[in-house]
Amino acid sequence: MVDEKIIDRKLDHLKIPIEFDVQTSENYFKYIKFVHHSLPEYDINEIDISVNFFNKVIDAPICIAGMTGGHPISKKINKILANAAEKENIVLGVGSQRAALEKPANIDSFKIINEIAPNIPKIGNIGIGQISDKDFQENDFQKCIDMINADAIAIHFNALHEMLQPNGNTSYKLFEKNFTKIRAQFDIPIIAKETGTGFNKEIAIKLDSLGFDGFDIGGYGGTNFSAIESIRNNYPKKFTRKPADIFKNWGIPTPVSILYVRNISKKLIIATGGIRSGIDIVKSIILGADFGGLAYNFLVSAWKDLEENSILNTINEIKTLKNEIRSCLWLLNVKNIEELKGNHKKIIILGNLYRWLEQPKY
């Protein structure tokens, strides 16, 4: 049975971050400072910011984080994002493919991505709720891969968001059993993706041992789904306070989650959650990530492009990020991304972030 409410909800999720301020109140990247190098040894044009995403070489460690699909507007936005990502040769993620599994007419809004961007790495997306469903079939996973000719699939972990939505999915008891079946059957890289609340060490150890190939740590600090649900204002009237308001500050900050996960795993890490510039991507890589992922910046650029019937705003956002990453490496006297990874000597950690890290509980 198709839930038409999913379609309306998808539109709300796209429009609310544009029309309202739903960013978290504290972005922890501000507590990371660089140790400047006054006499860079390299010409700035010698700096190489290219990286590998599994087997594909791409221009920069930038990922457009999974956002959309399953609505006529999503198709237009996905078309813009795919066009820009293909031209600039970066990684592209799509939003949850659930809507297309439940209503084949929605497949179009995802399929467009492979038609427009056949060469770049593409990440499919499905939720822990769907994987944990008693009716989930391995064939559904295959459909997600085929729909976009995916290079990897992200399984998103969004317990807080599900808890805040009416009829959200709040039982994941079958997750491990169903995931194990999928893992045994599919060779495609599978990424565990958080969506704004971050992974702790304990869950990262578990997911690593279950056979995930990488993490998108999706930490606290960026677009805040509690704030979005607070605006959507759906909550049982028996409560005296909106749960979405009470849980607005819930989550592990992005820089903390990168460190937690890198401490226990050598696998791929994408850092999302409050990355707003190339500088934040460089900070993430120094902490141990391989890529920086951005949703909000690309939602804003794609929305502008939609209004202007263009792709220039999105292209320019990618060019800006690339330039910021290159400039940052130059000023740190680092020649390429490999040299940057985990190079903690290049940063100083201050304030509330330092305090989090002083309490190594997890």
Ligand X SMILES: Cc1cc2nc3c(=O)[nH]c(=O)nc-3n(C[C@H](O)[C@H](O)[C@H](O)COP(=O)(O)O)c2cc1C
Name the residues that contact ligand X, by CB under 6 A.
Answer: 13-14, 17, 65-68, 95-96, 125, 154, 156, 193, 195-196, 218, 222-223, 272-275, 294-296, 299
Q: What are the C-alpha distances in Å from 37 to residues 188, 194, 345? A: 41, 35, 12
Residue number with the shortest CB distance to ligand X?
Answer: 222
CA distance 295 to 275: 9
Using the minimum distance from each CB to ligand X, give the nearer residue, 83 or 257. Answer: 257
Using the minimum distance from each CB to ligand X, give the nearer residue, 13 or 79. Answer: 13
CA distance 349 to 354: 6
Q: Least separation, in Å, of the C-beta of 46 and ligand X?
A: 30
Q: Least separation, in Å, of the C-beta of 300 and ligand X?
A: 10
Using the minimum distance from each CB to ligand X, give the nearer residue, 288 or 292. Answer: 292
- How many helices and strands (H and E) does the chain possess? 17, 12
Q: Least separation, in Å, of the C-beta of 320 and ligand X?
A: 15
CA distance 207 to 184: 15
Using the minimum distance from each CB to ligand X, give the nearer residue, 296 or 356. Answer: 296
Q: Least separation, in Å, of the C-beta of 162 and ligand X?
A: 12
What is the bridge-based pairing of β-strands 56-58 and 51-53? antiparallel
Q: Which residues contact 218 (CB under 8 A, 6 or more apart)?
A: 156, 157, 193, 194, 195, 196, 197, 198, 199, 254, 257, 272, 273
Of 94, 86, 90, 89, the C-alpha closest to 117 is 86
Q: Least separation, in Å, of the C-beta of 16 and ligand X?
A: 8
Using the minimum distance from each CB to ligand X, give the nearer residue, 253 or 273. Answer: 273
Using the minimum distance from each CB to ligand X, give the nearer residue, 85 or 332. Answer: 85
Q: Least separation, in Å, of the C-beta of 195 and ligand X?
A: 5
Lookup: tokens for 326: 């290159």
Of 326, 343, 335, 334, the C-alpha closest to 284 is 343
